[in-house]
Structure 1
Amino acid sequence: MKLFIFSLLLLFPFLIFAQSNNAPSTNIPHEITITGYLQTQYQRAQSAGISSFSGGDFAENSKDRFMIRRGRLKIDRADNYSNIVFQIDATQNGVQLMDAFIQLHKPGLESLEFTAGLFNRPFGHSIVYSSGYRDFPERARVFQTLMPRERDLGAMITFNPEKKFHFLTAELAVINGSGHSSRDYDSKKDLVGNLGFKFDSLANKKMHIGFGGSFYKGTVRNNTESYYTNGDNGFVKNTSPTNVGLNAKRNYLGANLQVQYDNTFGSTLFKAEFVGGTQPGVASSGSIKGPYASQSFSAQPATDLYLRSFSGYYLWLTQQIAKSRFTALVSYDSYDPNTKVKDIEIGANNNNTTAGDIKFNTLGYGITAQVSSRIKLTVYNEHVVNAPTQLPSYLSDLKDDVFTMRLQYRW
């Protein structure tokens, strides 16, 4: 199944214009512009206190909640030589910086652009696509795990020809690798690259197609004398004083696809994205819940590293209903943090596996209503499934489905 999906993405690659966060409201020279959006929502979980990638974990004794999911305020300005973007996120948890970057370009050579600051990592489609335009409430579990909060600090070069090769976009960034952290915890820098092609207004302007491929090449510093690698049906422990300061590989390859067809019933949009590679993580423990054991680090990990071979993907389908304001949503995503071990082997004696190695699949379905040009209502349910393991807390599927009702206002 994984090989089939990856082959499909390579053989039939397509891309839609993305509403990217790595850009001002418009590249046309303008004075300070203020835009943003507010997402307020109600959620009900299947059980109290569950771990969730639908807006964060639920409190220990709660299975329903009201919350501000996102409260974005974006300020930007553009002239003939530069753009500047500054964005914050204000929720019930406080105010956080989201974007802060400067873009430079030369008049007559707008196809080449230099960006420096805090920006979205140029990997794939969903990472850079704005949450204010995305129909689905959240990004897929695999991307929330690999690139939490999407941003990193660094510098990037973008090449987007305006004439003969206008369908091409190439991006290459050097970043800290510690994400949205206040500081980098080692001297190594990570490299991220993206190559995309977009073809708009085909088939009498009814079809929009394209494709993209990305890579991430980085490391995570090991701070102990031991680390674990995949072996037969589990992990093998490697111990040596020379392992302190080891740079464990953090490498990803991705491919993405989007197809939109504007038919007589209403616009149909299909999106898919696959990513696989090696992800340094830690063991699941009393302080680190299973789903977060393979999450990328914003601070130096204090425990032994676990090097996992992983894969993940999502399939998203939206269908406008009879050209009305209503759009039906269906999604399926999968994240396997350890492709070298079978689910039923997780938790077996002496194989060093933990809840951090469990595969999760999510089926989502719902509907959106575009109440006005600024207001959108989303009703969505996620059915989350994990296979049985030998771990006491994961002998069967967890009851961790989540229902979401969201109201968004964008200005």
Structure 2
Amino acid sequence: MKRHRLRGLSFAAGLAGSLVVSSASAQGNASADDDVEVVATPTPAPAPPGASLSPNTPVSPNAQAPSSAPAPAEARKPSREDELEARIRALEAKAAEAPAPSAAPKAPDTTSVRAEREPSLTSGVTGPLGLVFSGYVQGQYETNQASEDQIQQGGVLLNQDRFSIRRARLRVDRAWTWASTTIEVDGNTVRGPSFGLRRAEVSLLWRNPLAGAPPWVRLTGGLSEIPFGYELTDSARSRYFMERSTASLALFPGEPDVGVRLSGGISFFRYALAALNGEPIDDRPGRYAGDPTAAKDLVGRVGIETRPRDELRVTGGVSFLTGKGFHRGTEATKNSVVWRDLNENGSVDGGEITAVPGTAATPSQTFNRWAFGADLGFTLDTPIGKSRLYGEVFVAQNADRGLTAADPIASGTDVREFGFYGAFVQEISRYGVVGFRLDRYDPNADFLDKRAGKLIPASAAIQTYSPMVGLLLPDRVRFLVQYDAIVDSLARDGQGVPTDLKNNRLTFRLQGEL
């Protein structure tokens, strides 16, 4: 504005100079020393703010100043410069009174859903409204002490030193005020290249108007997470440890199952109750996936999620599972003849041919199974980053479906399982993380081992120590390294006594976000 005012003043000064030259020409060839008489006239009253002064507007010589300020006896004649200055002030006042232009509308948020914004049964918070695409890729290299360049009976490869795509997932979320749908597909090369459905669910929900709060009620149908414990519902995208603990993988070899679920939260209280097929879909292809029984598993969790302090978050809950397991019957067989070369001479001798009578088919049967779990976790915001301390404990009966499948009909007795884990994770600024996890799982608390022809009590427990370290580029890439030191009694020494199997693992993983 000062620049425009100076230009106006320069223009006025030039115009005044031109008027002086014209006046001098009109008086003839007047000398510079000639005296010029100036007639004093009263100063006109100042124009009101906002008034527009025209250069052609005549100024009355009898104009009087306001009564509050009596006009002086003598005043100079208003020049062109004064008039322009008054016009500039009037324009400035008018511009100051004009309303400010309205702000441009804010562009919609197109940021993709990250791990912490994914729907979680633990927090219960749903994603943003609208259509959102997201995904991630986990490429890794794993080496195992038990790896061999051999083929197991049945054609299973024993090599475990390899590169693989552990998960490559693409997810689409569509949310409205009263409903939401989610579709997620997964591709991996764990047991050969495969591509399948990971999540497909539709929900009706009654949202809590508070930002960041879970819906009061959400009814979900389709393929979704099993609401048991904390680790099972923790996203593989945000979890720093490579895989779930041994106990969690044994009871639930897969994270999703097909069924219907009712969940939600009120204040700090969280709840989830689901009726499921009871056959979790393992995202490691090659496993049987079906629903052999009409009975459905009833799974549920009730817990809390609260912030007693701004920097502290506490979660916890108890979970349960009850349902039916399946024992496969046998098919009928025909009569047959078996030759056993007892003396290994390659010829049929007396006593080496045996008749095997046919057997009738045996029916399949079901058995009861149940599991109970409790979890507790703390998250603290520290000057160097977030600290997380969490853990779970499990007790179950006939519920092992992933490690040593429990079958009390075949064994003649119920199988009791017990497991727990505890983990600590420390983020170092936004670009680093370290952690440690200890987990223990006993697939059969009543295990008996046969030694020298006698049955004696023995332990089948598996204990794993897992240190982890990683580098992070938030919302872009993470590089993680984890070593699993596994202590068990799955091997035999030279005298037939159970000993530790050399099966420690080292895994390098590079994860990228879409």
State TM-score, norm by structure 1.
0.75
How far does the alpha carbon of each residue in 1:204-231 deviate from its partner, in whole angstroms, 9 at most, with x for none? x121112111000111133449xxxxxx
Relative to structure 2, which stretch is displaced further, 178-187 or 135-144?
178-187
How far does the alpha carbon of each residue in 1:278-333 deviate from its partner, in whole angstroms, 9 at most, with x for none? 02569xxxxxxxx832379xxxx996676310111111111223x35111111100
d(CA) in 1 for partners of 2:290, 2:302: 28
Instruction: Report deviation, 1:352.
Output: 10
The within-5 A match list for 1:286-365 is: 292-294=403-405, 307-321=414-428, 323=429, 325-341=431-447, 345-348=448-451, 349=453, 351=455, 358-365=460-467
Instruction: Report deviation, 1:192.
Output: 0.3
| Matched residue type, 1:319 | Q
How far does the alpha carbon of each residue in 1:175-199 deviate from its partner, in whole angstroms, 9 at most, with x for none? 1112226541111111001012011
Which one of 252, 269, 274 corresponds to residue 168 of structure 1?
269
Instruction: Check if 1:210 corresponds to 2:315.
Output: yes
d(CA) in 2 for partners of 1:353, 1:391: 18
Distance verdict in 2 for CA 1:49–1:347, change over 3 Å: farther
Which structure carries more relative contact order (alpha carbon 8 Å, separation 6+)?
A: 1
The within-5 A match list for 1:9-48 is: 20=119, 26-31=126-131, 33-48=132-147
The within-5 A match list for 1:91-110 is: 91-92=188-189, 93-106=193-206, 110=215
Q: Which residue is 1:125 aligned to? A: 230
How far does the alpha carbon of each residue in 1:120-175 deviate from its partner, in whole angstroms, 9 at most, with x for none? 110010111100000111100111111111111110111312xxxx2111110001
How far does the alpha carbon of each residue in 1:26-58 deviate from its partner, in whole angstroms, 9 at most, with x for none? 544213x211110001111123149xxxxxxx9
Which one of 370, 377, 386 corresponds to residue 472 of structure 2?
370
State TM-score, norm by structure 2.
0.61
The within-5 A match list for 1:154-303 is: 154-161=259-266, 166-180=267-281, 183-200=290-307, 202-203=308-309, 205-224=310-329, 244-279=363-398, 292-294=403-405
Distance verdict in 2 for CA 1:78–1:366, change over 3 Å: same
Instruction: Check if 1:116 corresponds to 2:221.
Output: yes
d(CA) in 1 for partners of 2:194, 2:201: 22
Q: Which residue is 1:150 aligned to? A: 255
| Matched residue type, 2:224 | F
Q: Which residue is 2:176 aligned to? A: 79
Relative to structure 2, which stretch is displaced further, 249-258 or 357-366?
357-366
Instruction: Report deviation, 1:88.
Output: 0.8
Distance verdict in 2 for CA 1:206–1:280, change over 3 Å: closer
| Matched residue type, 1:213 | V
Secondary structure of residue in 2 paired with 1:292? coil
CA-based RMSD: 3.3
Distance verdict in 2 for CA 1:305–1:170, change over 3 Å: farther
Instruction: Check if 1:90 corresponds to 2:187.
Output: yes
Secondary structure of residue in 2 paired with 1:142? helix
Distance verdict in 2 for CA 1:182–1:405, change over 3 Å: closer
Distance verdict in 2 for CA 1:84–1:352, change over 3 Å: farther
d(CA) in 1 for partners of 2:279, 2:207: 34
Relative to structure 2, which stretch is displaced further, 177-186 or 187-196?
177-186
d(CA) in 2 for partners of 1:270, 1:153: 31
Q: Is the 8 A contact 2:416 2:445 kept in 1?
A: yes
| Matched residue type, 1:186 | T
d(CA) in 1 for partners of 2:509, 2:316: 30
Distance verdict in 2 for CA 1:71–1:306, change over 3 Å: farther
| Matched residue type, 1:187 | A
d(CA) in 1 for partners of 2:157, 2:417: 29
How far does the alpha carbon of each residue in 1:361-398 deviate from its partner, in whole angstroms, 9 at most, with x for none? 00000201113431001011000010377798872111
Distance verdict in 2 for CA 1:77–1:175, change over 3 Å: same
| Matched residue type, 1:95 | F
d(CA) in 2 for partners of 1:151, 1:271: 22
Secondary structure of residue in 2 paired with 1:145? helix
Matched residues, percent identical? 24
Q: Which residue is 2:482 aligned to? A: 380
Instruction: Report deviation, 1:266.
Output: 3.1
Q: Is the 8 A contact 1:248 1:307 kept in 2?
A: no
Paired residue total: 346
d(CA) in 2 for partners of 1:113, 1:212: 19
Secondary structure of residue in 1 paired with 2:247? helix
Distance verdict in 2 for CA 1:21–1:353, change over 3 Å: farther
d(CA) in 1 for partners of 2:315, 2:476: 28
| Matched residue type, 2:302 | L
Distance verdict in 2 for CA 1:24–1:324, change over 3 Å: closer
Q: Which residue is 1:228 aligned to? A: none
Distance verdict in 2 for CA 1:391–1:274, change over 3 Å: farther
